[in-house]
Chain A
Amino acid sequence: DTGVSQDPRHKITKRGQNVTFRCDPISEHNRLYWYRQTLGQGPEFLTYFQNEAQLEKSRLLSDRFSAERPKGSFSTLEIQRTEQGDSAMYLCASSFEQGVGYTFGSGTRLTVV
């Protein structure tokens, strides 16, 4: 296991289309996080899973965003009816336990045109 894997690395989509991103965490990590980062800003928290349970969801997330982690392993983040403001780097991270730093994946860069 070489780290957190995200797919795709880049996604260009037209406004109004739906997109789905996948994240495979480090296998022994039970905590999984999604963040969004725009240019010149730090990562902003989107949502957090412990095993398959989604424990927290940011108010930044509109109803167009949904995330799942069905078997407590990989996770998906779906954005419906994309808008230009959704253009950002979407980062997935995982950790083994509370209180430790995360390991981030390489991210998915979304461009909405």
Chain B
Amino acid sequence: KNEVEQSPQNLTAQEGEFITINCSYSVGISALHWLQQHPGGGIVSLFMLSSGKKKHGRLIATINIQEKHSSLHITASHPRDSAVYICAVRSIGSGGGADGLTFGKGTHLIIQP
């Protein structure tokens, strides 16, 4: 079982719809990251969370540490939101947290006009 599980794997929606992508993890973490990867390949960091909720424009990210679960929401979705959204966690390691990220397999989102 992967340490980080995302759902759904693929999501196609119409422009304007409210989008939710889920991420569950099985290890203790110090932080959770949401990343966006466009077809060209570049990765953009959207959010880093260790508790609560963050909002940036039409994007909202929440995390429930007790339930080991995070969600990424997109309001008023637009075709330019089409991308792969990746959840990644920074595990609590023996090295004081000096470890890299562990990634989910990503959610392929397509927003149709």
Are A and B subunits of one complex? no
Q: Which residues of A contact B (CB under 8 A)?
A: none
Q: Which residues of B contact A (CB under 8 A)?
A: none
